[in-house]
Amino acid sequence: MFATTGDGTKIWCDSAPGPAPVLLIHGFASDGESTWVRTGWVRALADRGHVLVDLRGHGRSDRPGSGYSPEALARDVLAALDETGVSTVDAVTYSMGGLVGWELAKLAPGRVRRLALGGIGGRAADRDSMRGVAEALSAGGLDACIEEVAGHRLEGPPPVPVLFAAGDQDEIAADAPEVAAGFDAPFVSLGRRNHLNAVSSRRFKEAATEFFDR
């Protein structure tokens, strides 16, 4: 299905019913299928329910020339939640998706209960790293997203309870343990994983679901 945003952009989304649905927000240059379906997340959440979304410019969603700031992307995700009819979720995010989930929890109090943030620390997103990820994933057409996301970081106190998780070889999220400590939030090491393969970690799945059950 597709949600239509305020500027007319079509955002692809999908959901499966369950007693405790989990919203899944992918990172830059990826999509819901490759980040969450192929890595086993949707299967692991089968008894909870889920909401999948492709951020604008990614996957099956439209690719307009603007509207890529984390706050704007959060508004898109909120439209997807409304379209699927899911009122309250826990959320798992990866990399840039963490900026979006953080802004969503601020934008719509009560819609996000807890956030499990993978592959993100306290550093601002930078153009070179984003271009490197796009090159590694053979993704093009994302210049507008790079320009609007670059310079953004997790701002302010956590809007909801948060969990941080990152691979020990993830240079992009290298400071995640310190950031988690500064927020008095739990941190989970995903072992010898890097930024591109940490999302598939079984430990990440286990830690997120345990965190949501608290």
CATH of residue 73's domain is: 3.40.50.1820
Count H helices and E strands in the chain, helices first: 8, 8
pTM of the model: 0.97
Q: Where are the beta strands (DSSP E) in 46-141?
A: 50-53, 89-94, 112-118
Domain count, the chain: 1
Report the pLDDT value the prediction gives residue 137, as an integer from 0 to 100: 82
Residue indicated by tokens 């679901």 = 209
Report CA 42 to chain centroid distance, whole Å.
Answer: 14
Report the pLDDT value the prediction gives residue 129, as an integer from 0 to 100: 87
Q: In tens digits, what is the pLDDT along the chain, a chain of 214 residues?
A: 999 999 999 999 999 999 999 999 999 999 999 999 999 999 999 999 999 999 999 999 999 999 999 999 999 999 999 999 999 999 999 999 999 999 999 999 999 999 999 999 999 999 998 998 888 888 888 999 999 999 999 999 999 999 999 999 999 999 999 999 999 999 999 999 999 999 999 999 999 999 999 9
Between CA 57 and CA 27 the distance in angstroms is 12
Q: What domain range includes position 68?
A: 2-212
Report the pLDDT value the prediction gives residue 170, as an integer from 0 to 100: 96
